[in-house]
Amino acid sequence: MGLLDNKIALITGGTSGIGLATAHRFVAEGAHVFITGRRQSELDIAVVALGSNVTGIRGDVSNLDELDRVFAAITSRGQGLDVLFVNAGGGSFSTLEELTPEGFDATFGVNVRGTVFTVQKALPLLKDGASVIVTGSTAASKGSPAFGVYAATKAALRSFTRTWAAELAGRNIRVNTIAPGPTNTPGLSGLAPDPSQAQGLLDMLTGNVPLGRLAHPDEIANVVLFLASEQASFITGTELFADGGEVQL
Ligand SMILES: NC(=O)c1ccc[n+]([C@@H]2O[C@H](COP(=O)([O-])OP(=O)(O)OC[C@H]3O[C@@H](n4cnc5c(N)ncnc54)[C@H](OP(=O)(O)O)[C@@H]3O)[C@@H](O)[C@H]2O)c1
């Protein structure tokens, strides 16, 4: 018996890092998983790696037409959604002084607008009793130089999670935020301005973690699985940190 036997899940940004690790975990626990990402090549690789019970759908969450295409594909399967992991996102470093309107709009477009309309468009597919998990970040609870726009997008998502939990409680749909600390993914290394600086960035981030290391994506996936499953049946509207103590101690 798996924790997600016969469940249908959508994971946005499911081709890499935290999303891909979660897709592996969900499939191992008996779910059929839809994964999305913008790059067809990465989608194809992820689908092969997952092996079975997976459907890849290419789509950019910041493009409403592409979101419609993603949900049309899921609708055509005719089984609704039990779990929605709204995870696609990312950011870049920019101080207030360096910030451009284009950079601001791009980060808010993917992280906030993309998440909001993913959840909105999923509503007709979500079954009563479904679980929605939104990827936040410890960044939302900190003031880190040059990370203000990213942090603000994740703070916005934390707020939306409370509202959606209230709006959907009548359908017994639980909505929660997973707030990972620094997690060893391509996305995290990609924050470095060039690859030669990636290790220095990872070392600096590790220094902020009381447990003294980065998270492995599987450690975040375990928490997402918990929130997705009936094990978390009385948890809604919360923000669950998996951060090695980064913003707790
Ligand atoms: N790693 C960390 O330390 C950390 C900590 C806290 C929170 N987070 C959050 O965790 C989530 C996953 O990050 P990660 O570290 O696993 O990054 P990652 O390895 O770069 O994976 C990001 C995934 O999202 C997809 N994606 C990005 N933009 C997209 C868009 N506009 N539309 C659709 N898919 C998109 C990527 O595929 P394509 O590029 O092909 O689209 C990829 O599948 C993000 O929301 C991030 O902010 C990460």
> For the sheet containing 81-86, what is the strand order?
54-58, 32-37, 8-11, 81-86, 126-135, 174-180, 239-242
Query: So where are the chain's domains?
Result: 8-242
CA of 17 to the centre of ligand 1 (A): 7
Q: Can you read off the two tokens belonging to residue 59?
A: 């789509």
In CATH, which of 3.40.50.720, 3.50.50.60, 1.10.630.10, 3.40.640.10 is domain 8-242?
3.40.50.720
Shortest-distance Cα residue to atom 36 of ligand 1: 13
CA dihedral sign of residues 160, 165, 166, 171 = positive
DSSP type of residue 215: B
- The pLDDT assigned to 31 comes to 98
Segment 119-171, tens digit of pLDDT: 999 999 999 999 999 999 999 999 999 999 999 999 999 999 999 999 999 99
CA 125 to chain centre: 19
* Active-site pick, 26, 34, 71, 150: 150
Best residue among 40, 117, 185, 205 to mutate for probing ligand 1, ranked by most atoms within 8 Å of CB: 185
- The pLDDT assigned to 193 comes to 84
The reply to whether ligand 1 has any atom less than 6 angstroms from the CB of 38 is yes
Hey, is 190 helix, strand or coil? coil
Residue 103 appears among annotated catalytic residues: no
CA of 56 to the centre of ligand 1 (A): 16
Residues with Cβ within 8 Å of residue 75, at least 6 apart in sequence: 125
Other beta carbons within 10 Å of 104: 15
Q: How far apart are CA 10 and CA 87, in angstroms?
A: 10
CA of 28 to the centre of ligand 1 (A): 21
- The pLDDT assigned to 152 comes to 98
- Of the candidates 41, 95, 40, the residue with the CA atom closest to the CA atom of residue 66: 40
Strands 174-180 and 126-135: parallel
Segment 165-192, tens digit of pLDDT: 999 999 999 999 999 999 999 999 999 9
Q: How far apart are CA 28 and CA 226, in angstroms?
A: 14
Segment 12-64, tens digit of pLDDT: 999 999 999 999 999 999 999 999 999 999 999 999 999 999 999 999 999 99
Segment 79-128, tens digit of pLDDT: 999 999 999 999 999 999 999 999 999 999 999 999 999 999 999 999 99
